[in-house]
Structure 1
């Protein structure tokens, strides 16, 4: 395979696939495929619904955006970047990657290389995806086509750690495939590539990256519960501890999204199949999955402490996305706070200037309110650390409350100045 004459297809044009397509299009011809016709039409119109690279770049990219699967036949190097969610019972939902494999298999040409980027447990690429590709194409893996795995490491909303600046793990089914996969990614990854010795090693490396982060955040969340009982600030404790050179700087918070809150379940699912029941990983998951309820309970406690009625209380939630400065609301844990408050007879108002409002309405039935319409609330929950919210001080929050109201502020991410708000008479609480 001659890299300079390469035609690459990207299957899946979401927060991961679209930036990959744009990056490669600067070097080679790229076909960007997605089954979501509406999304493809937005890209064709120069609109970036993910806000990962921006409208201007989308307008000027040479990526050929399409929903026509037969266009995949023009490429000989395919990158599959579809989501890998979990079902309600926390077992892996492989239907997106299986579906992508079926579509690609129907349009796979001899001599092709298929690289999967979707986060999976070790064995999925070779044991699940390859048989689908073979069945649909009628071709033989290792003879007519070849496979590799290169886990995505893109961090949605992060303008510093991008595809080009993060070392890329690459792997292949054999040495020659690995060489080709490495050369292709080296076209765009300035930080270089790391050659994993096998596909399973690369799959495992990805799934433990987020599992490790999940466990560390769970530890911080457990500490926040303890420190709140002690009546001391978690942030102040972490600031003090962080002065030691080898202290790991993690913070408590809601753990949602498509990676940290999902990937550990892929690993523990595979472990269960092998007869091992996870202890540390699942313990961390239980703590993190319960934080929405914990935050809501403390909202209710603070309302009671200032003499505000609970049932029918006006509670404002600032931020609804799964992380800051990213429009994605899928698998947001803010909904857990809202659902728990509803159990107490509270129907919160939600304001998020960054979130995809149509997505929130479709997935959760949540309609956002404008900042200008917010008046006379009993409590404000700052749930997501969007840049806009980082600028909020006493004046901004005062405008949400009635003048004679005891003001309750729940600062989930500890982005407000605690001393300033307490001195101003606020009832302040944070993780």
Structure 2
């Protein structure tokens, strides 16, 4: 099968997808509305760290910010962000705009595939009418649509686009067969053909909802065990010796997947008159973890007799380790909660873009050479660039003030048996 495809949106999801298809000999048009992003990619510079420069230098990959170039493709893959607004409601603005762009350039016989996370029904109820309006074509008569949810995990070198089993769905059996064949040429882990687009949309949105709820349980247990004076990590280590215990851990749940996707499901539930109890309970627990951690850090400083307000150094501000993405980072919430107590907070993150952090969150990153000794240190994001070694205090000790100090390890990375005597170690 000789076909030209387009990938609309070259972020953490779209770029690896585009490069994977091109790498496997499929002519691919990579489109993004951000001209600066396209220019950087053409020079081999991916600021997200998702792909190597060698993947961008491929004659089968054409990078462009010109919508008219999409006309050369017959299959269009939409991979744009689907965030929530300040009220935690789905914000489909990027998806609507991308769909409008595709609709204006598509032609009879084309297939439009959506990879962005949405609520069940969004593809057919929202995207299809836009495609029809902008193209003047008739759905199922002139064009088909598909949904194949993304499973990209930024910062994960083991699970690549090619190695993750792919769910594929479409609006007709013929389109499903073609999409399954297309993705099957690239994804070596296999293809799962969903019986409908709504089923595929629902499967995607519950993947992260399940993780969110499991982490919420761990977070609630962490708060309970903290009250009991029990170390949560020790409890989980014991429980994990049973063969069917699931290895979830407590933590700050941010980013643009786990902390967002459940709201897409609850939004649709409310539209249908269904009141989701468990999903929102988990969301409430996870949303409150930054406040809980901040309170424990401040109490630790008070208990040790540190000067008030304390100076606190927070290591890492991105939403997860070894990625530069700060979208929906709960570490930002943690910093703001500490500041509510009057704390002087220094934030160190070698991966985050200082201008982006300042623009989006009104926070200034502290250069490492300007960091002052702190009353407390919070290891919030265990970047390799910060830790140097996976189990070492070397990155922490130079940051501490004299006397008894407090260290919060949110990821169980600091060995207790090597803890300096003047440090009180608290683990989530």
Q: 1:397 offset after TM fit, Å?
A: 1.7
Counterparts of 1:60 and 1:144, CA distance in 2: 32
Mapped contact 1:47–1:59 kept (Cα < 8 A): no
1:170-181 superposed matches below 5 A: 170-181=168-179
Q: 1:321 offset after TM fit, Å?
A: 0.6
Mapped contact 2:323–2:351 kept (Cα < 8 A): yes
2:416 is the counterpart of 1:426:
no
Q: 1:385 offset after TM fit, Å?
A: 1.8
Mapped contact 1:315–1:381 kept (Cα < 8 A): yes
1:9 paired residue number: 6
Counterparts of 2:41 and 2:395, CA distance in 1: 36
Counterparts of 2:100 and 2:205, CA distance in 1: 24
1:102-141 superposed matches below 5 A: 102-141=100-139
2:372 paired residue number: 375
2:254 paired residue number: 256
Counterparts of 1:107 and 1:331, CA distance in 2: 33
1:39 paired residue number: 37
Mapped contact 1:22–1:61 kept (Cα < 8 A): no
Alignment equivalent of 2:200, drawn from 199, 202, 210: 202
Counterparts of 2:325 and 2:270, CA distance in 1: 31
2:82 paired residue number: 84
2:339 is the counterpart of 1:332:
no
Alignment equivalent of 1:349, drawn from 334, 346, 350: 346
1:149 paired residue number: 147
Partner secondary structure for residue 347 of structure 2: strand
Q: TM-score, normalised by structure 2?
A: 0.97
Q: 1:406 offset after TM fit, Å?
A: 1.7
Mapped contact 2:403–2:422 kept (Cα < 8 A): no
Mapped contact 1:338–1:347 kept (Cα < 8 A): no
Counterparts of 1:200 and 1:377, CA distance in 2: 52
1:16-415 superposed matches below 5 A: 16-26=13-23, 27-60=25-58, 62-311=60-309, 313-390=310-387, 391=389, 393-402=392-401, 404-415=402-413
Alignment RMSD, CA only? 1.3
**Displaced runs of 4+ in structure 1, greater than 3 A?**
59-62
Mapped contact 2:347–2:366 kept (Cα < 8 A): yes
Q: 1:107 offset after TM fit, Å?
A: 0.5
Q: 1:318 offset after TM fit, Å?
A: 0.3
Q: 1:373 offset after TM fit, Å?
A: 2.6
Mapped contact 2:393–2:414 kept (Cα < 8 A): no
Change (3 A) 1:357 1:187: farther
Change (3 A) 1:61 1:424: farther
Counterparts of 2:243 and 2:232, CA distance in 1: 19
Q: 1:427 offset after TM fit, Å?
A: 1.1
Mapped contact 2:306–2:405 kept (Cα < 8 A): no
Change (3 A) 1:63 1:296: same
Q: Which runs of 5+ in 2 are unaligned?
A: none
Counterparts of 1:394 and 1:154, CA distance in 2: 32
Q: Which runs of 5+ in 1 are unaligned?
A: none
Mapped contact 2:29–2:70 kept (Cα < 8 A): yes
Counterparts of 1:59 and 1:48, CA distance in 2: 12
Aligned residue-pair number: 425
Mapped contact 1:375–1:399 kept (Cα < 8 A): no
Counterparts of 2:350 and 2:153, CA distance in 1: 20
Q: 1:405 offset after TM fit, Å?
A: 2.6
Change (3 A) 1:273 1:75: same
Q: TM-score, normalised by structure 1?
A: 0.96
Counterparts of 1:233 and 1:61, CA distance in 2: 55
Q: 1:389 offset after TM fit, Å?
A: 3.9
Q: 1:375 offset after TM fit, Å?
A: 2.9
Counterparts of 2:58 and 2:104, CA distance in 1: 31
Q: 1:409 offset after TM fit, Å?
A: 0.5
Counterparts of 1:114 and 1:90, CA distance in 2: 28
Partner secondary structure for residue 9 of structure 1: strand
